[in-house]
Amino acid sequence: MGCRVGLETFFERELMKLGKNQKKWIKALRSGKYKQTKDHLRDSDGYCCLGIGCRIFKKELGLSELKEADGITSFNSWRGSLPEAVEAHLGLRSNTGKTKGRGKDLAARNDNGWTFHEIANFLVKYPAKFFKESK
């Protein structure tokens, strides 16, 4: 059984190629352009890793961006998880970046102190854990 898990991890890591939308998001995460926040897609302190996805695909997907009275910005009325359009555009497994199998989703990694660069590196190293398909 241990060998099967090892092979599965190998294939998840080696066989999935990132698509152009995924590469664009990872590039934005690594850019150093965005300040990081937690618990929300965007607030007055910055963005979470998922919020950067909303920001960079906002125009392309026709997302509305509304800064609310409490300082939190929503995208298509979504404040803490991805709008369905962004989730689909990135090919993610869920609107919080849930992993295939065990492990924390991307929102939890962000909120637990992972830097954008660490998240980007993990996405590159294990794309099939987070993405259903190349997009």
pLDDT digits (tens, 9 = 90+) for 63-119: 999 999 899 999 999 999 999 999 999 999 999 999 988 889 999 999 999 999 999
Burial 32-57 (b: 16+ CB within 10 A, else e): eebebbbebbbbeeebbbbbbbbbbb
Whole-structure pTM value:
0.88
Which pLDDT score is estimated for 122?
95
Is residue 135 one of the residues assigned to a domain? no
Is residue 102 one of the residues assigned to a domain? yes
Residue 72, exposed/middle/buried by CB under 10 A (0-12, 13-18, 19+)? middle
The tally of domains found in the chain comes to 1
Is residue 87 one of the residues assigned to a domain? yes
Which pLDDT score is estimated for 34?
98
Q: Which domain holds residue 93?
A: 2-130
| Alpha helix positions (H), 31-115 | 49-61, 84-90, 106-111
Tokens of 120: 């980007």
CA distances, 7 to each of 10, 15, 71, 97, 132 (Å) = 5, 11, 46, 23, 18
Q: Which residue has the higher pLDDT, 31 or 101?
A: 31
Q: What percent of the chain has pLDDT over 70?
A: 89
Q: How confident is the model at residue 9 (pLDDT cuts 50, 70, 90)?
A: low
Q: What is the mean pLDDT of the chain?
A: 90
Which pLDDT score is estimated for 101?
80
Q: Which residue has the higher pLDDT, 105 or 12?
A: 105
Q: Which residue has the higher pLDDT, 70 or 6?
A: 70
Dihedral sign of CA atoms 134, 127, 81, 37 in order: negative
Is residue 39 one of the residues assigned to a domain? yes
Is residue 57 one of the residues assigned to a domain? yes
